[in-house]
Structure formats: C-alpha cells, structure tokens
Structure 1
Amino acid sequence: MERLVNIHVPSTLKKELVGGCEFISHMGKRVPYAYYIHQHLKQGSSLSVEKPDDILISPNGVFSTGFHSVGDNAYSFAIWFSEPLSDGNHTIVWMANRDEPVNGRLSKLSLLKTGNLVLLDAGHLSLWATDTTSTSSVKLQLNDTGNLFLHTSEGKVLWQSFDSPTDTLLPQQLLTRDKKLVSSRSLSNYSSGFYKLFFDDDNVIRLLFDGPEISSVYWPDPWLRSWEAKRSTYNDSRTAVLNSAGYFNSSDDLKFMSADLGIGPKRRLTVDVDGNVRLYSLDEIRRTWVVSWQAFSNPCRIHGICGPNSLCTYVPDKSSGRMCNCIPRHTMRNDTDHSYGCVPDFNLSLKEGEVEFVQLRHVEFYGYDIGYMENYTLERCEKECSQANACVGFQYKFETEKGYYSCFLKTRLLDGYRSLGFSDRMYIKLPKTNLSSSYKPFREFRLDCPDQSRAHELDRTYKKNEENGSLKVLLWFACGLGGFEIICILSVWLYLSITCQGSGATTQSYLQVATGFKRFTYAELKKASRNFSVEIGRGGSGVVYKGTLPNQQIAAMKHLDNANQGEAEFLAEVSTIGRLNHMNLIETLGYCAEGKHRLLVYEYMEHGSLAENLHSNTLDWEKRFNIAVGTAKGLAYLHEECLEWVLHCDVKPQNILLDSGYQPKVADFGLSKLLNRGAINNSSFSTIRGTRGYMAPEWVFNLPITSKVDVYSYGIVMLEMVTGRSPTGVHSTIDDTREKEDIMLVMWVREKMHESAGKTSWIEEIVDPTVDGEYNMGRMELLVRVALLCAEEARDARPTMSKVVEMLLRSEIED
C-alpha cells in the first residue's frame, strides 16, 4: 500500500506531530499518517477488518471505504461519507455484503494477483467477489464521486460500485435497466429490505413492495396509466441520473429537482426503510441531512407500511408520520415492527350463520377484490361475503356517476388506510358470538388508547352482581363511590383546563395543526422576552420581540395582537409551517396558544431583514445576487415543491430575513393561502392582500389569484435591491395610486435599458451608486432582465419561480 499525496484530509482527521512522526487522530484513535491514508489497493494487498483505520479515502476526502460494523462481531465492506453527522454516525452509501456480514476477526478484503477482488470471512470462505481477471496490473481506488472502481494500468475499468448500488444513488451515478435500489430492512438492520426502485418492463421507473408474502407496485399510483402519471413508455434506454446540481432526469420523463437546486451541497437519493424515496441535501453547519424532495408526503400511501389487517393513519407530528392500529379482533404480530401487521384471534373458518360485520368508517383497503357487485344493497353485500369462505370483508362504495352503491369483496385486508377524506365504508367479517358493544369505541378510532384496553374497561363497567351478601354490597358501593369521585375530579380538572385556555374547541383545533413544534406557555415566553420589552419588528398581524429561550437560544417571538384576525392567521401560519422545510424559509421553533394569546417562536436572524440592510454597505453585489437566488429558491419551494400549494401574498424586503452568513430566509406566512394545485381560478380571497408598492395588478383588478402574484412582488423587490429606489418613491410626481408607482419603477428601468445605445452601460445608470464594490456586469444584467420578466403586467408573461431559479443559476454555472 502507498501513502496518498496531495490528498484532502477531512476536518475530523486531526494531524499531529508526536515524537517527530506524523499521526492522525480519527474517532478517538491515533494512527500513523502514512499507515492510515491509502491512495489505492494493489494486487496482493488486503484491507483487514481487525484494523478499523485500514481504509481508502477519496482524493477530495469526502468518501471513505472500509469495514463498517453492522452488529455484534458483524461487519460489511462499505462506502460512507467521511465526515460524521451531528450524532457521530456516518452515512453509508454502498455495501458489498449487506446480507452476509463477515466475522470481526481474520476477515479481509483482498485484491488477488489474478485481478479478482474477494471478501474473505474468518474461515477463508469467499462471501463476495467481483469475479474479474486481468493479465495487467490492477488497482482498487475510490474517486471523488464515491465510486469504488477496479482498473488496469491501461485505465480499463474492470468493476465499479456504481454498477451495483444498494439503497442509495449518488450524483452522476446512473440507474439503468439492470440496476435497482433496495431499501434496508430497518435503521439498524442494513440487510436487504422490502422496497425496490427499478425500471419495469414497460420502461417506467416504479417503486415495488416485495414482502415475504405478497408483492405490489405502489408508485406511480397503480390505478393510473403511464401517461396519466406523466410517464413515457416509448424510450427503452432506461437510464436515470441525478446531476451535481440536484436535478433528476429519467428516460421515462420523470423529472424533479432539489429544493436547494444548485452546485455545492452534498446530496444522495435513497430508498428509505419506510419505502419512501427521498432526495437529501447535507446541512454542513448542523451536520444533518435535510429532505429536499420526496416521492410521498403521506406515508400511508406506501404499501406494506403497516402490514396486513392493520390501518395506517397519517399523523404529521410523529417522527414516522404515521400510526398503525389493528382492526377489531386482531393483535399486533410484532410490537417492534408494524410491517408484520396483525393476526386474528379467532378461527378463520366461519359459516354463514356465525358471522356479523363491523363497519369501519373512512377506511379503505387496497386490492385483492374477488368480486364486484354492482348496484347492491348493504344486505346483499353482507350475504355474498358471508357465503364466500374466502371473503374477509367488503368495501361498500357509492358510485357517483352511476348513482348507486356497489360492493367489492376482499380476500385480504392489505394496505389499510384511514382518512376523513374517505366517504366510503368498509365492513369486516367477524364471529357473531364475539361481537358486542365493546367494539363500538373502535368505530370512533381513538388513536391514543389501545382498543383492547377499552374493551376490558367496558366489560367491567357492564358487569352486575345479583348476590345479596351485605359485604359484597358494601364493597361494590365503596367501589362505585370511589369511581364516581374519580370521575368528578377528572371532570372538574377538565373543566378548569378548558376554562383556563379560553375556547377549548378553538384551541384544540390549533393544537392539532401545530404539530412538530415545542409548545410554550405564555409565562415562559413573557419571561424569555423580559416582559416583551425588546421590539425588533412590527407588521400588520402583530409585533415581533427578541428573547432568550430556556435553552439559551435567542429567538424571535411574534405576538398576534388582534384576537379575531390573529387567531385566523395563527391557524394559517402554523398549519402551513408544519408542512414546510427548506433552507431558505425561516425555521419555526415553537408556538403558544393560551387563552387569547397567540404567538409564534422563530429562529433569530442576526442581520435582520433585507429592508434594514438595503441601503447600507453591508450588502455588496455578490451578497445581493445570492439573496436573489436564495429568495427565489424559497418561493419556488412554496409554489411547487412543498406538500401543499402555498402563496405567500406579501413578498417584500421586510419579509426576507438574513442569517449570520447573509443567506436569505423568507418569513411571515400570515398572509399565506393554501390552495389545491389544480385550482387555477381562485376566488376565495375576499380582500386585497399584500403591501402597497409590491402587489400585483390582479389584486387591484379583481383577477384570479395564482402564484404569479408572488412572482410579481419578487420582481419589484429585486429591482429595488438593484436600484436602491423604493417602488413608492421613484419620481416625485407620482400619483397617489399604487398601480402607477409600480409601473413607474418598471418603466424607468425599461427606459434605461432601451436607451443603452449610448456609451455608458444602462446597468451602470440604474444600479444603486451608494453600494461599494465591483460587480459582474453580465450577472447583474441577467438579474435585472429576470426581474423585469417577473414584473410583467400580464400574469401569463411572468415565469414561474422555479424557472427564475434555473435562469439565475445558469449564470453561476457559466461563470
């Protein structure tokens, strides 16, 4: 083995000089520098499992390869990101022997003189090999993209890890017809799981649940034809790639982009253990992976997630995003792994007269229909299922177009999903003798209590003693009195809690949507802000104060003043923010919903808003261009990438905040509006929204409101940032109406652009003369032209925010 020269050493590897020799400290161990870093593995050499630091590192230091522990005395040869995450763990991107780990002693990876790379266990058994041969000299190397490759001295690649991926696709790595991504079994079990991303025989990329008993495709939606899912079957090349900028493109027309599109962040596309495909970007500061795109926002749409005879309910505030519950008379097969589902606690052989049906509202099960009974009454459906031994239940569905009910008989209850959006009913077949009122609570589907425990409670409640023994009478009387007292105490406590919180129903509705954040009491925030003494901002919906949280984190606290307006804004903001996650959006730390008090707690931005810095020398032209790109990315995420369609409706410099590195974060969603992406013509805005000077003409002329109103406001903000001129103060002779003031700013810039026949560049005439420093003329001209496109009067002439991002980033790539 040879020491690699001119190699980048990760920051976690600290070089020291001890006794005149160079050492590197890695994971708490000190090893010789020459021994630790290897440029390549030569023929006749090995990497040993007994030497944890016996690894190869890519020239840029980003990736490492070696033996990785996957259990007690169990190791796999793997590739991982060299820098650990905030929790100390390394992110694995490839494994050679994920399903057959080797022993922690005497195992090694050897490059034989024949050119074959083999993984040998302690007993010298070959568990994995490349099956390559070569008469030339051969080396094993890890390149900067994370590809481990075996090549000859002539440069011929004999084998590479990019051709045999596990669960992760790295930038520049191709996914082709003979490759597939397979999830891990669990977060702690790296062996092959049940979910696969692959090219199907019809040339379409699909997600497959390949369980121990059944298999089913679940993405794209199996009931859609390829063109309805916006996929093409005509290109049989079957290739897909994620490029370095975060853009994924496939031969079946599947296209998506990272929310932080652009060259720079480290990324990976992974089929996760829960069956979802996610694109991750690494937050270098916090050392965590951030989801920048995902195939499913609702995990209950993924097959096999809760197993058979189980119901999945979407619960956003849970880390998994879901809750699995067994249907009545079924118990969980494995309490630690819900994917095993539930098993019945009764004999499945039921005759017609021995069964009854339990109704499950707002529930549907996918597939396995053995019969379709059109225009059937409920009684006829029950009879058909009772007579069919294979039938375990039926879906009773109202067919709107036909105007009557039909039933779908089921042989299996798989991929159950409960949602209040389902109006149809599901009926499951159970033994008649065991049906009782004890199952009524299940129909209500309480998520916080197991159904079995409630059934036992009901049994005890309804038991009655017919004996006359005085002792037992006194005992039952004492128990009843004690139970009554407990009920009274709980009732009083509940009443006081509701009274203290004001309107209980309203508060509960807020708490349901305010998921995923810390809930603060009003007293906590009052203390943290020193009785709201430091005001740092004021808007139409409330005042923002600075404070220090109990964990010593500085935060911004927005207090919604107006009770009527504030409550509605609070609900809109929290329900929106709960579904948003982007590096160019302000992060919400918590909330307060106590009595009439409604507060939101945000991360504190050290440099305030763009409006505060616009006319100072703190923002040079480089920072201003980066602010334009970051703001566009945040708005593009709101419009196109997040789980709902979000309109900001009040884009202005005051709502673009700057962090310690002057990176922009879009803030204040008090005027946001959640819409259905398909509803282009929207008439649900009853009042004009936004800020004078930045509002699009649609507001004034009562035209349909779309995402293009934000595009218009963005264009005005960018022109203001470049020119230093307020949209409400371009000329002293401006009318008092907003329309003319906006148009005057745009017209003034356009006039300068058209007058560019002179010697002086029109860009030099419009840029803010008070801003110091040089600027890239071509880049600045592009920014102004893009801003003018955004500020077009005609809505359809404006680009989308994703197109704006693409145009601005193109200049960075070309530079």
Structure 2
Amino acid sequence: MEEFTTVCLLLLIPSSVSCFQLSSSTIQTLNKGEYLSVENPQDVLLSPSGVFSAGFQSVGVNAYCFAVWFTRNPTLVWTANRDQPVNGKRSKLSLLKSGNLLLTDADELDVWASDTSSATSVELLLYDSGNLVLRETKGVVLWQSFDFPADTLLPHQQLTRFTKLVSSRSETNHSSGFYSVFFDNDNVLRLLYDGPEISSIYWPDPGRVSWQNGRSTYNGSRIAVLDSLGNFSSSDQFSFITSDYGAVLQRMLKIDSDGNVRVYSQESEGHEWYVSWQAILTPCSIHGICGANSLCSYDPGGSGRKCSCLPGFRRRNSSDWSLGCEPKHNFSCNPSASYFVRLPHVDFYGSDRQFTSNSTLEDCMNLNLQSCDYKAFQYKFSEDRGYFNCFPKTFLINGYVSPDFQAGVYLRLPRGKPFSMQESLQESSAECSNKTITIERGYVKAHENRNLKLMAWFAYNIGGFEILCILCVWCFLMRDRRRSQANECAQSYLPIGSGLKKYSYTELKKATKGFCQEIGRGSGGIVYRGELSDNRVVAIKKLSEASQGEEEFYAEVSNIGMLNHMNLIKMWGYCSEGKHRLLVYEFMENGSLAKNLESKSHALDFRTSFHIALGVARGLAYLHEECLEWILHCDVKPQNILLDSDYQPKVADFGLSKLLKRDDSDNSKFSRIRGTRGYMAPEWVFNMPITSKVDVYSYGIVVLEIMTGKNPMKGGDQDMNGSGREGRQHGLVGWVREKKSKASSKASWLQQIMHPMICGHLETKKMEILMEVALQCVEEDRDARPTMRQVVEMLQGSCN
C-alpha cells in the first residue's frame, strides 16, 4: 500500500526527485538520486574486476534495453525490459530517493521498476558474478537480478520454483520467445513449448514417465544450479558435467531461441564462446521449431536442421519458420474430392483424435475421409500385437523426418491439384523471427517558451488533486492486475505433452452463446454444448471453483491429454484464465449412460448394453495396464460414461483419477476418499489399501445397474435397503445374489432381475457370462475380483 502511494506521489511531483548526471566511465555504484542515461555511452556500471557491465544496450532501431552483459565479448545475460524497449533519447534508469529503481521511457512512462523502498541509504552495484544488486549500505539486499532471470543462468545463480528461463524470439530479437525451462508442479525440471495456439512439454521425453527419464518427483525444494567448474545439479536428480569440467572458466547456461538448452564456455575473456553441453541431441524433437504443416529434418554431418512445407502447403512467412505453412488450395469435405499421399519416415507428435487397433489400410482411409477434421493418418505396425493400428491426425504439428522411424504418414490432399513432391520439400534453414524492433513512439522535445511553460505548470497544479486520485486508483488496479497475471502465468504451465489447444475464456463463452445450453451437471461443474469457430461441435465443461481445485484440474488435463483410446473421452483443449477453468471435449451425441438408463423407454437393448459393458471394460483395462503410468479412475459410474452417435461408450471425467508409478511400493496411500456413494469399493470405507480393484468393483456395479435398471444409490425394492458392510449384502449386489440362489434355473433368475426391455431381446449365454463377470467384480475381497484385462477376455470369449 505504502509503496504504491509513494510511486503515485513521485509521478505527481517529479520536481521533488533531484537527479544528476554521472559522467565517469568507470561507475561501480549508483546511489540515491543518481541515474544512468540512454544517451550517454559512458553511463555503464562495471563489476569490480570489469568482467560484467550494466547499462543500456541497443536491441533494434531506436530500441534499447537496460541489460547486464559480459564486457570483453559483449553477450547479454540479463535484461530488465526485454518485451518493452525504451526510446534512444531521454530514457533513463533512476535510483529514486524512495529506494525504488525506476526505468522510464522518453515520454516519462514507467517501463520497469524494482518495486522497492528504503528509508536508509541504498546503492546499486554489479557483482563479479554478474548479479545486479540493489542493497542498503548495511548490506541488506532489497532486489537482485539473479531472482529474475531472462534466458540465461550464470554460475551459482539458482533456478527455483519461483523462476524460469524464457528464450528469446530469435538471435536478433531479444523479446520473450516460445520456449522456457522451469520446475513443473511435479518437481521435475522441464522444457516447454508455449506457442500462440498450443503448448506441450518436449523434454524430458514426454512419452516416458519420470522415473524412466531418470527424474525424481519426491524432492519439493525445486532448485537447480550450475557451478563455476561446469557441474550442474537439480533437485529432481538430474545432473551433468560439461565437456570441459574441472577448469574455472566463464560459463553460462542458456535456453536458446531454437528451444535447446546449452552451456557456453570461453577459455578467457574476449575469446569465442563454444558449446560445452546441450540438453537435446536431436533438434527435430523440439516442438514447434518448424511450425504447423511442415517437416523438420536433420543432417548431423551436413547442413544441420532444415524445415520444409508439406506437399500442398506454402510458407506463411518467408522469414519466420515458427509460423509454419498454409494450404495452397481449399480442401473439400467431400470424401471423393480427397486422396492420400504417403510420406515415408514421417511422424507428427500429438494431435491424435482417436486410435483404432487391428485396422486395414482401406478401413483407416475410409475412417479419415469421414471428417474434415482429419488431415492425415499414421498407419503403423505393432510388433507386440502383430497387427496394424490407425492413428488419425487432426493437426499437423511437430512434424519430423527420421530414417529410424519405420512407419509413415498418409497426407490428405485435394484431387485435381497436382503436387510435386520435389517442389514441396524445398528445404530452408530453420530460423525464428529476425525482425528488429522499432520504437514508433516519439519523444517530447524541449521548448524554450517560458510563458508556455508557466501555463503548463499552472494547469498541472490546478489538476493535481484530480490526477492524484486517478493515479492512486490506477495503482490499486495495476496491483490487482499484476496479481491476476501472476496467477494466470502460474496456471499456464501445465504438464501437458499432447499438443492440447489453449482457448481463451472469451472464445469459449462465444462458442456456448454465453453458456446457455446445458447438457450435463455434476459436483465438479456444468457441461455446455458449444460450437467452435471451425464449426466443430464440442462439450465444454465449466469447472466450479469450490468443487475442484488446482490438483484436480491438473489431474484431469494431464491425464486425459496423454490418453489415446477409442473408449476414453478425447479432450481437444482447455482454458485456464484467472479464476476460469474449462475443458473442451469431443461432443457425445447420445449423452451419458445415466441419462439413457433413466429414460422411460430404456432404449438400450441387450446387444447395445453388452457392447457398452465391453467398451467400458476395454477403456479401464487400457488405463490400468497399457498406460506408461498406472491410472486409477476412482469414480466409475454411469454419469461418467458417455455414448456417441453409435452408442460407443467413452469413459470420461478424470477429475478424481490417481496417477501412480508402476514400481511404487506404496501405491495404497491416497490423500482422501474418492468416488461416489453406491459405486465405491469396500476398501474406501474400511481404510484398506487401494489398488486398481476399486475400479473393477465400480465397473461391476455399473453393469448390474445396466442389466437390472436399478440405481444402487436409490434402491428400488424394500429388500435393497441398508448401509455399511451389512447394507452391501442387502443392496443391489445382495438382491441379485439372492435372486440367483433361490432361482430354480439359470434362465429364471435372469428373467427375474433383468429390465423388461432387455428381457425381450435376451441372449441367454452372453447374459449369463456378463452377469457372472459382474458378480465377480463386486466381490468383497478384492483379491477375488478379476482384473479389467481378464474381464475383457471373458466378455470377448462369450462372443466366439
């Protein structure tokens, strides 16, 4: 509060700040009331040994940043205002008498500030470590540049949970780029591509779990540091030594504009920098480097990395590959108007819409011709399974060519438009934007007209009170805005490696017409029907603030984002903007299984019901056994099973899911009870170890509900009441078992418990197997329950 008021008063009464120009060429200390001017090249702070300098550096045409750099071989290591350069005249960095360090532009606009204050004497110094420090004369540090890194980490400068390195836009454009290195919310040091439309983690390998990458998630300190000898160590157990380890050299760790992290060394001051370590050896594995609709190729012994447009596409911008390529011709949704071209050894990371196993090439092509959203597909042989799988692609992002990749991609192109593969794959160097920054804003020239000055001074003082009020209100608003931006920034780096699209809240509000068409509601939030700008119909889940916190939001986004199965809901994107958190899913035409079961007509016949049960089992088996990490859904119920136009089931709502290490010996520890009453396994109630068998139990209850039409939470018969362990034996499970034990034949007990609509189309053999499987799943003893893989095998066996 006091510092904002002080800033406002200083803005209102600039004549009260007495600053004087420094002229020494060897300035080592900036004291209160002094300033450095952009117009005086001698206004430079030097470290004691002269290794580092601090002052104004040109970053474009009439564009300057206040920066710290190596003196003898000028290399920027820190900038205060990288995204808002100042004018080349009348801009200055001032150490005010209030103790605040303030960078102002030519028109006296505040561009950057340290937001500090002190009643005692303060001074600004540059250490030989490269750290720019504002401290009281007693030694108390008020602010230091090491706490606010740009794209470079110097020896003994700590990277922490509160800081991150952000790349420059290019080698000549020092504004913030698309790549960053930071500690994720799971305590792992990661590299993130945060592009204009999508974001994704690309290092360490997002296709592997943390322990497979040699990382540990069990240290919450989140500290990484490079020492002067060339040793880097991080709290997630990642470490390395440089190729020149052991010698005391000038070093810096930097995230470059191409998304790679490198350590640069120089033997002595003024010599050329050389790379002594780099994080990524295969440059084409860096996401977003060539933009959408393009391919990255790498020749280690030749010309290095190259970018090229796909056949039928052309570059969006001749000087910026990160913007990718655009189609040369319009594409038609008519299946007969398209054909496919095979691109060997090509892959696109992420953006798979769905996954179809054991598919023929013809079936895969026909599937991709059914929707305008499908731009290509990958047809890949699975050596483990012994058959081909089909992977439709909705976005052509993160494309690369590698001889080691045996499969290929089939690209969709319009008929009647001949394309030359040789012409399309013309290669160019992969460069980001090289545009220089021009400050269009002018500066006010001095006038000698004293009468005009007097009139201006008089008008200024007359309006002083009103301006003071306005500025104070503005200060409060800016404080709240900074807090909001800080929260938003903290939420934007999710552990997402699947290329999910980021939507703004305004986009999704427009898509749902102001959230007017509700299609579902639960404890976690409300689901609305929406239509995106590309005419795709989607389901948009607006999470309620009270019911789902950050942990659950991260769980749902992260878990669904890396899943790829035809019986699991597909998420297309998300929104995390201030307090708004929304998830964008594919739209399911037939709604939830719960709504279908509640329908008076009960339109689900036995064949449909059986395929729903089998599909849900396949989805859960994938979660339990085929994911790289072990995922428990923890809330399997009809409300979380959605049905598409063909009544194909998709398991949804991973807000309560639990992701665990497969080799974790303590998988039984959960922070709280998860699930919905009536579907929860006994382990939750009686505080027993939690395993994947809790999902098996819930699945069994869902199958019984489908077949009988009786809701386990509502009862239905007088002998289905009860609670606790005793109640379980007299609830839906006990009621079914009692009917079975008293029946005179297998067919009779099935007819007694089946819903009338199902009984009319009874297939006795399949029905008997399905009910036996369901009863096995709801055994009190979890060891007596089958796994979901065994459930799938038993149900598939009944189809033979």
Which TM-score applies when normalising by structure 1?
0.49
Q: Which has the higher contact order (CA 8 A, sep 6+)?
A: 2
Which TM-score applies when normalising by structure 2?
0.50
